Amino acid sequence: MRGDYNGIFLPKSRVSTNVLRKRRICTMFRLLYCIVETGSVSYARFFSSWIVMKLSLAELRREYSAHGLLEEEMDPNPLVQFKRWFEDILNSTIPEPNAMILATSTPDGVPSARVVLLKGFDERGYLFFTNYDSRKAQELALNPRAALLFYWPEVGRQVRIEGRVEKTSTQESEAYFRTRPRESRIGAWASKQSSVLPDRKSLEERFNQFNQRFPGEEIPLPPFWGGYRVVPHAYEFWQGRESRLHDRIAYVRRDHLWQMKRLSP
Ligand SMILES: Cc1cc2nc3c(=O)[nH]c(=O)nc-3n(C[C@H](O)[C@H](O)[C@H](O)COP(=O)(O)O)c2cc1C
């Protein structure tokens, strides 16, 4: 049943496999480096080579910040530009590359923000999954607008996205729910997200209850759980540069066309 969805989900395995593959390759190179240098594996050498590996991210950051953002090199479509940046991040060793801050607000303008995981993106928008009774969901029900923020300090980059928010179809939520590990699916049933709990024990008891209720692999989608898409009308790509002269390239959607502007840092 798992992996039968042909859409744009970024399941955890896709993200962590990339990172794990990179780490494994780096570890092999570090071992080789130690053997070539000393003829044997010395722990001191092994750990000092870790610094060399870390430097490569610093190198990437230096390269990006020296080169900066030029309008003529940015894609006219911000989705394509985001894809480029996101692929760079996926191919690096940056942990949790798909963690993003989601900001929502009440209709009278009281904001709230939290981290969620990006689970896919395409021309329809940026996808995440959550509990439909949570605080964020209650705010989105009354004010279906949100801002997303990605910050990757290792490469000095930030992306801001703003847009309206819509729920995914039940089929799409089901398809994603099936890809989650069993414990996460039981956890989704057990958590009345954002509500007050008397203590930790009561959460664990709820988890055990649902674990017994759904003993096998077939766990239905909870009716209070599913996805949202942020459909962007504005983007900003930020690249940290020397002397605080950072680059900021913003895109705003007007009449189905994207306009690009440079903003002062
Ligand atoms: C790295 C990270 C990833 C998270 N991913 C999600 C997620 O994908 N969906 C979700 O509902 N909560 C996620 N959370 C928990 C949220 O930050 C938050 O605590 C929860 O959604 C309740 O928020 P709310 O009370 O404002 O609705 C994540 C937290 C962290 C730190």
Give the DSSP per-residue string, 161-194.
EEEEEEEPPHHHHHHHHHHS-HHHHHHHHH--TT
CA of 243 to the centre of ligand 1 (A): 35
* From 40-44, 188-192, 201-205, 224-228, the region with the lowest mean pLDDT: 40-44
Structure tokens at 102: 């989601």
Which atom, in ligand 1's list, is nearest to the CA of 130?
A: 11
**Mean pLDDT across 219-230:** 98
pLDDT of residue 61: 86
Q: Using alpha carbons, select from 110, 83, 96 the residue that is nearest to residue 16.
A: 96
Q: Which helix (H) or strand (E) holds 207?
A: helix 200-213
Q: Helices 200-213 and 182-190 sit at what angle, rounded to 10 degrees?
A: 120
Assign 63 a pLDDT band (cuts: 50, 70, 90): confident
**Predicted confidence (pLDDT) at residue 49 exceeds the cutoff of 70:** no
**DSSP reduced 3-state for 161:** strand
Which atom, in ligand 1's list, is nearest to the CA of 128?
A: 8
Domain spans of the chain, in order of start: 12-262
Which atom, in ligand 1's list, is nearest to the CA of 104?
A: 26
Pocket of ligand 1 (CB under 6 A): 96, 99, 112, 114-117, 128-131, 134-136, 193-194
Q: Tell me the pLDDT tens digit for each residue of 14-29.
A: 444 555 555 566 556 6
Looking up tokens 């044997």 gives: 40
| Those residues with Cβ within 8 angstroms of residue 84's Cβ, 6 or more apart along the chain or in another chain | 75
pLDDT of residue 21: 58
Which CATH superfamily groups domain 12-262?
Electron Transport, Fmn-binding Protein; Chain A (2.30.110.10)
The residue whose CB lies within 8 Å of the most ligand 1 atoms, and thus the one to mutate among 102, 130, 184, is 130
| Those residues with Cβ within 8 angstroms of residue 187's Cβ, 6 or more apart along the chain or in another chain | 207
Structure tokens at 59: 């190198």
pLDDT of residue 12: 52
* From 83-97, 179-193, 228-242, the region with the lowest mean pLDDT: 83-97
Which one is catalytic: 178, 244, 248, 254? 244
Assign 10 a pLDDT band (cuts: 50, 70, 90): low
CA of 52 to the centre of ligand 1 (A): 34
CA of 194 to the centre of ligand 1 (A): 10
**Mean pLDDT across 207-221:** 96
Q: Would you say 172 and 178 are in contact if contact means Cβ atoms under 8 Å apart?
A: no
The residue whose CB lies within 8 Å of the most ligand 1 atoms, and thus the one to mutate among 9, 12, 116, is 116
pLDDT of residue 56: 77
User: What whole-number percentage of the chain has pLDDT above 90?
Assistant: 72
Assign 187 a pLDDT band (cuts: 50, 70, 90): very high
CA of 114 to the centre of ligand 1 (A): 6
Give the DSSP per-residue string, 37-98.
HHSS--HHHHHHHHHHHHHHHHHHHHHHHHH---GGGS-SSHHHHHHHHHHHHHTS--SSTT
Q: Could you confirm whether 244 is annotated as catalytic?
A: yes
Q: What is the pTM of this model?
A: 0.85
pLDDT of residue 57: 81
How many C-beta neighbours within 10 Å does residue 124 have? 14
**CB-based contacts of 216-221 (< 8 A; 24+ apart in sequence):** 217/1, 217/182, 219/177, 219/182, 219/185, 219/186, 219/189, 221/170, 221/173, 221/174, 221/177
pLDDT of residue 186: 98
Which atom, in ligand 1's list, is nearest to the CA of 131?
A: 11
Q: How far is CA 15 from the centre of its chain?
A: 9
Q: Tell me the pLDDT tens digit for each residue of 100-148.
A: 999 999 999 999 999 999 999 999 999 999 999 999 999 999 999 999 9
pLDDT: which is higher, 142 or 11: 142
| CA–CA separation, 23 and 165 (whole Å) | 36
- The whole-chain average pLDDT of the chain stands at 87
Q: One-letter amino acid identity for 163?
A: G
Output the residue whose Cα is nearest ligand 1's atom 3: 116
CA of 128 to the centre of ligand 1 (A): 10
